[in-house]
């Protein structure tokens, strides 16, 4: 699928604000892919499609999670805001015949992360966090780290998310903890120094 075609689809599917967020993620993903020697085309396409399922109906998403073997059923026990990522990956695979696992996994894990994230997964995850339209406590620090070291920036974003969720007494999906544990030893040295 070409980026222009993906853009047209997403512009139709998403409300204006979410579409603008998406364009910001594409811009940041392109920047990070160039900076960290990722595949720019794949980064842009994954970013363009990453939130395609954000406003899908909850029951439809639940049905898809149960139906698609690649999506773990335990997601249903966690917050609905996690569902759009794997559902989006399954949707673009089916609807647009995208079979590139790099792209599919970057969409699939863009919300939670996971242990052993690929370069493309990190790029899309971080781009989603730091895109120019994002304004929340801690984003400036992660933007600064994104200029210095990819893993450190991803680890800090995960740390912020975990702290934010725990402070609101919300569950944390195990993949988010695994992603954090995977990166924090090395990143922690950079964050302390
Ligand atoms: O879709 P976006 O808003 O662009 O961003 P996203 O895909 O990172 O989704 C963010 C939401 O997901 C936000 O409300 C926090 C939530 N979230 C992220 N990781 C976890 C999580 N929620 C839970 N319960 N557990 C997580 O591990
Ligand atoms: Fe998302
Ligand atoms: Fe997003």
Please indicate whether residue 79, judged by its CB atom, sits closer than 6 Å to ligand 1: yes
The pLDDT score that the predictor gives to residue 132 is 98
Burial 119-147 (b: 16+ CB within 10 A, else e): bbbbbbbbbbbbbeebeeeeeeebbebbe
What pLDDT score was predicted for residue 101?
98
The CA 121 to ligand 2 mean position distance, Å, reads: 13
Range of the domain at 122: 3-136
**What region does 169 belong to: left with phi over 0, alpha with psi -120 to 50, or beta?**
left
Q: Report pLDDT for 193.
A: 72
Give residue 193 CA to ligand 3 midpoint distance, Å: 31
In-domain check, residue 155: no
The reply to whether 161 falls in a domain is no
Q: pLDDT tens across 123-144, in order?
A: 999 999 999 999 999 999 999 9
Has residue 26 been placed in a domain? yes
Helix axes of 119-130 and 139-146: crossing angle, nearest 10 degrees: 140
DSSP the chain: --HHHHHHHHHHHS-HHHHHHHHHHHHHHHHHHHHTT--HHHHHHHHHHTTTTTTS-HHHHHHHHHH-TTS-GGGGGS-GGGTHHHHHHHHHHHHH----HHHHHHHHTTTT--TT--HHHHHHHHHHHH-TT--STTHHHHHHHHTT-HHHHHHHHHHHHHHHHHHTT----HHHHHHHHHHHHHHHHHHH-
For a pocket test of ligand 1, which of 107, 111, 117 has the largest count of ligand atoms closer than 8 A to its C-beta? 111
The answer to whether residue 188 is domain-embedded is: no
Residues with CB under 5 A from ligand 3 (ion): 51, 128
Q: Does a structural domain hold residue 152? A: no
Q: Is residue 156 part of a domain?
A: no
Ligand 1 contact via 82 beta carbon (within 6 Å): yes
- Asked whether 178 and 114 are in contact (CB, 8 A), the reply is yes
> Residue 132 maps to which CATH number?
1.10.3210.10
Spans of the chain, pLDDT less than 70: none
Q: Which residue has the tokens 């089916």?
A: 94
Work out how many domains the chain is built from and give that number.
1
Q: How many CB atoms lie within 10 A of CB 46?
A: 32
Query: What is the pTM assigned to this prediction?
Result: 0.97
């Amino acid at each position: 699928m070409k980026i222009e075609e993906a853009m047209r689809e997403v512009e139709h599917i998403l409300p204006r604000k979410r579409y603008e967020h998406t364009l910001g993620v594409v811009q940041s993903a392109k920047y990070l892919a160039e900076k960290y020697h990722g595949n720019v085309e794949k980064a842009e396409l994954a970013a363009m499609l990453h939130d395609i399922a954000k406003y899908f109906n909850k029951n439809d998403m639940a049905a898809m999670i149960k139906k698609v073997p690649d999506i773990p059923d335990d997601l249903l026990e966690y917050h609905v805001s996690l569902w759009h990522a794997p559902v989006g990956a399954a949707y673009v695979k089916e609807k647009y015949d995208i079979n590139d696992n790099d792209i599919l996994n970057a969409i699939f894990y863009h919300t939670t992360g996971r242990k052993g994230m690929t370069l493309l997964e990190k790029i899309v995850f971080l781009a989603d966090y730091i895109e120019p339209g994002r304004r929340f406590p801690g984003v400036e620090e992660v933007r600064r780290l994104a200029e210095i070291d990819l893993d450190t920036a991803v680890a800090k974003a995960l740390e912020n998310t975990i702290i934010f969720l725990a402070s609101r007494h919300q569950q944390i999906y195990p993949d988010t903890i695994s992603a954090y544990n995977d990166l924090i030893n090395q990143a922690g040295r950079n964050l302390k120094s």
